[in-house]
């Protein structure tokens, strides 16, 4: 009765036999079948070895050394590219007599063990069992490593998802009082990402812009309701408090080592800067304003203009574009305006953005009239 280990190998172990002597192959096959090995493949033409190896993916190769056309060393050489790096693929060399030099050479070329001809069946089966045991232990370990890696990947993804969600919720917290649906921040993120892509930013930066832009008004969290939601005219002092949302937002986001938060900090600080230097804060102009902030500035104003606020109706896309065009070179970077108008003309601002043909004035809630 076979031992559990032999039984396991018989079920799982497939063996490829390469020997130019048909008779040797028959002897080995008979011996192996008797021991319970069922998946046996063989060839008397060593040149067929790589193709057979690919087709059957054996767990063990029994390889003769002295063969016509291609000897065992030649086979080892041709098999090398087919062995996965770091894998444990046992190759058992069969030979009548072998010098220490030839042994060294075969070992250095990937052979794992040697068997003397004529075969002693007990020895053959023991060697094969040992090699297969090592092979299966290796495969098991590899499987466990794969599982572990998969787990780590899933956990990392979960963490990243949680981080992104926290950022979304942070943006919502800032906008909650005048945009409880968070739609404005999300649209600004989407439009900014599309503009960034249109302006040639690399795909990974575009994704960062998509996530960072919604945080542009995070600092509004520190602006009191009485000012943020005030319908009447703001005093100079109240304006100053509103303006402080850029520096407060940047302060909340400052000191991070994550590129996403660093970008969000930059946007929060400079999204109210004007191309002509008349914005805030601190009043940079032209290309000293980070490009991403010049992009968010256009996206933010466009979205605000085309949506109703407690103190104003929604503007049509056409009217908003005319205003943005009028501000090119003043409030906005002319190149960003050009890219933006191009996106509008192509209806490529994103699924949630208003389009040229939309009649926005008609959709304004009555109470805002
Ligand atoms: Fe803002």
Calculate how far, in angstroms, residue 161's C-alpha sits from the geometric centre of ligand 1.
26
Residue 215 Cα to ligand 1 midpoint, Å, equals: 9
Note the pLDDT of residue 359.
62
Both tokens of residue 44?
A: 């008397």
- pLDDT band for position 169 (cuts 50, 70, 90): confident
Per-residue confidence band for 163, with pLDDT thresholds at 50, 70 and 90:
confident
From the CA of 4, how far away is ligand 1's center (Å)? 72
For residue 351, the CA-to-ligand 1 centroid distance in Å is 23
For residue 302, how far is its CA from the centre of ligand 1 (angstroms)?
Answer: 13
Residue 281 pLDDT greater than 80, yes or no: no
CA of 369 to the centre of ligand 1 (A): 25
Quick one: residue 362, left, alpha or beta (phi over 0 = left, psi -120 to 50 = alpha)? alpha
Highest mean pLDDT among 47-51, 97-101, 347-351: 47-51
Reduced 3-state DSSP string for the chain: CCCHHHHHHHHHCEEEEECCCHHHHHHHHHHHHHCCCCEEEEECCHHHHHHHHHHHCCCEEEEECCCCCCCHHHHHHHHHHHCCCCCCCCEEEEECCCCHHHHHHHHHCCCCEEEECCCCHHHHHHHHHHHHHHHHHHHHHHHHHHHHHHHHHHHHHHHHHHHHHHHHHHHHHHHCCCCCCCHHHHHHHHHHHHHHHHCCCCHHHHHHHHHHHHHCCHHHHHCCHHHHCCCCCCCHHHHHHHHCHHHHHHHHHCCCCCHHHHHHHHHHHHCCCCCCCCCCCCCCCHHHCCHHHHHHHHHHHHHHHCCCECCECCCCHHHHHHHHHHCECCCECHHHHHHHHHHHHCCCCCCCCCCCCCCHHHHCCHHHC
The two three-digit tokens of residue 21, written as one number: 């002597």
Residue 248 pLDDT: 94
Ligand 1 geometric centre to CA of 152 (Å): 38
10-14, 52-56, 314-318: range with highest mean pLDDT: 52-56
User: What average pLDDT does this structure show over 50-57?
Assistant: 95
- For residue 271, how far is its CA from the centre of ligand 1 (angstroms)? 6
- In this prediction, residue 362 carries a pLDDT of 46
Rounded distance from Cα 273 to ligand 1 centre (Å): 10
Tell me the CA–centroid distance for residue 162 and ligand 1, in Å.
25
CA of 107 to the centre of ligand 1 (A): 70
Give residue 148's Cα distance to chain centre.
18
**280 C-alpha to ligand 1 centroid (Å):** 10
Q: Which residues pair with 42 in a beta bridge?
A: 17
**Cα dihedral value 249, 255, 257, 263, nearest 10:** 30
- Lowest-confidence range among 225-239, 248-262, 345-359? 345-359
Q: Say how many Å lie between the CA of residue 219 and the centre of ligand 1.
A: 8
CA 195 to ligand 1 center in whole angstroms: 18
348 C-alpha vs ligand 1 centroid, how far in Å? 24
Task: Tell me the CA–centroid distance for residue 150 and ligand 1, in Å.
Answer: 41
Q: What pairs with residue 41 in β-bridges?
A: 16
Tokens standing for residue 205: 């930066």
Q: Can you read off the two tokens belonging to residue 64?
A: 């003769």
Burial label, 85 (beta-carbon count in 10 A; 0-12, 13-18, 19+): exposed
User: Ligand 1 centroid vs 216 CA: distance in angstroms?
Assistant: 6
Give residue 223 CA to ligand 1 midpoint distance, Å. Answer: 11
Give the pLDDT band of residue 183 (cuts 50, 70, 90). confident
How many Å lie between the centroid of ligand 1 and the Cα of residue 201?
23
């Amino acid at each position: 009765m076979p031992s559990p280990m032999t039984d396991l190998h018989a079920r799982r172990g497939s063996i490829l036999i390469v020997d130019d002597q048909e008779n040797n192959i028959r002897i080995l096959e008979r011996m192996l079948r008797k021991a319970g090995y069922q998946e046996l493949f063989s060839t008397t033409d060593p040149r067929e070895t790589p193709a057979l190896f690919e087709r059957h993916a054996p767990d063990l190769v029994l390889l003769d050394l002295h063969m016509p056309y291609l000897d065992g060393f030649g086979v080892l050489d041709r098999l090398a590219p087919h062995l996965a790096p770091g894998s444990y693929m046992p190759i058992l060399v069969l030979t009548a007599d072998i010098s220490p030099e030839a042994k060294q050479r075969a070992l250095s070329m990937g052979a794992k063990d040697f068997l003397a001809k004529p075969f002693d069946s007990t020895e053959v089966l023991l060697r094969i069992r040992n090699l297969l045991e090592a092979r299966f232990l290796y495969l098991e370990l590899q499987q466990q490593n794969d599982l572990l890696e998969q787990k780590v990947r899933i956990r990392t993804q979960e963490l990243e998802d949680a981080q992104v969600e926290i950022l979304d919720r942070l943006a919502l917290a800032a906008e909650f009082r005048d945009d409880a649906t968070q739609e404005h921040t999300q649209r600004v993120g989407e439009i900014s990402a599309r503009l960034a892509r249109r302006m040639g930013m690399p795909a990974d930066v575009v994704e960062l812009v998509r996530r960072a832009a919604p945080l542009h008004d995070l600092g509004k969290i520190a602006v009191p309701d009485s000012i943020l939601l005030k319908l009447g005219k703001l005093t100079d002092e109240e304006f100053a408090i509103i303006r402080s949302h850029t520096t407060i937002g940047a302060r909340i986001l400052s000191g991070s080592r994550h590129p996403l938060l660093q970008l969000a900090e930059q946007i929060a600080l400079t999204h109210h800067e004007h191309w002509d230097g008349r914005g805030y804060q601190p009043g940079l102009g032209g290309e000293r304003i980070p490009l991403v902030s010049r992009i968010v500035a256009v996206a933010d104003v466009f979205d605000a203009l085309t949506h109703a606020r407690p103190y104003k109706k929604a503007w049509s896309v056409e009217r908003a574009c005319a205003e943005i065009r009028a501000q090119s070179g003043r409030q906005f970077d002319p190149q960003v305006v050009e890219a933006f108008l191009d996106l509008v003309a192509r209806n490529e601002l994103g699924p949630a953005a208003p389009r040229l043909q939309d009649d926005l004035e008609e959709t304004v809630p009555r109470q805002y009239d």
